[in-house]
């Protein structure tokens, strides 16, 4: 059996110009630990899976913990209504208009995580913003 192939072949990773950037703010612990039996890691993975139902994040950071002391407050980083300690998770998708702040709120509302139930409407513990510029 021959393992040779003819023709031009290559491997390229390209990000398009249709990238949309979002920020998730939450008081639920979504710390990335790398230990997939850890509850906070499971909660983070669950959040990413729900977001990925419409468009998988192509660029994302590990959530950043804010301890609620000094300037480390959710409101200082742009949270629409949440205050105090929590977590910030930034991500981007390549599918234009797949997500809006409202679709993210509606689809994550009521999701049961190990750290609690996501509430985006009443006693808000998760909210989103969309950035037009980097």
Asked if residue 9 has pLDDT above 80, the reply is no
- Using one digit for the tens of pLDDT, what is the confidence trace for 80-109? 999 999 999 999 999 889 999 999 999 999
Contact present, 119 and 126 (Cβ < 8 Å): yes
- Name residues whose C-beta falls within 8 Å of residue 62's C-beta, 6 or more positions apart in sequence: 32, 89
- Given this model, what pLDDT does residue 18 score? 79
Nearest to 99 by CA among 8, 10, 23, 17: 23
Average predicted confidence (pLDDT) for the chain: 91
Residues of the chain with pLDDT > 70: what percent?
A: 86
User: pLDDT value at position 91?
Assistant: 96
């Amino acid at each position: 059996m021959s393992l040779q192939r003819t023709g031009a072949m290559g491997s390229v990773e390209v990000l398009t110009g249709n990238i949309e950037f979002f920020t998730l703010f939450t008081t639920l612990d979504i710390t990335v630990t790398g230990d997939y039996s850890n509850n906070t890691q499971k909660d983070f993975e669950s959040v990413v899976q729900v977001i990925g139902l419409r468009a998988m994040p192509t660029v994302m950071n590990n959530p950043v913990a804010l301890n609620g002391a000094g300037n480390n407050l959710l409101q200082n980083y742009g949270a629409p209504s949440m205050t105090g300690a929590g977590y910030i998770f930034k991500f981007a998708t390549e599918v234009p208009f797949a997500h809006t702040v409202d679709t993210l709120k509606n689809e994550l509302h009521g999701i049961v995580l190990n750290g609690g139930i996501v509430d985006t409407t009443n006693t808000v513990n998760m909210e989103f913003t969309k950035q037009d510029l980097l």
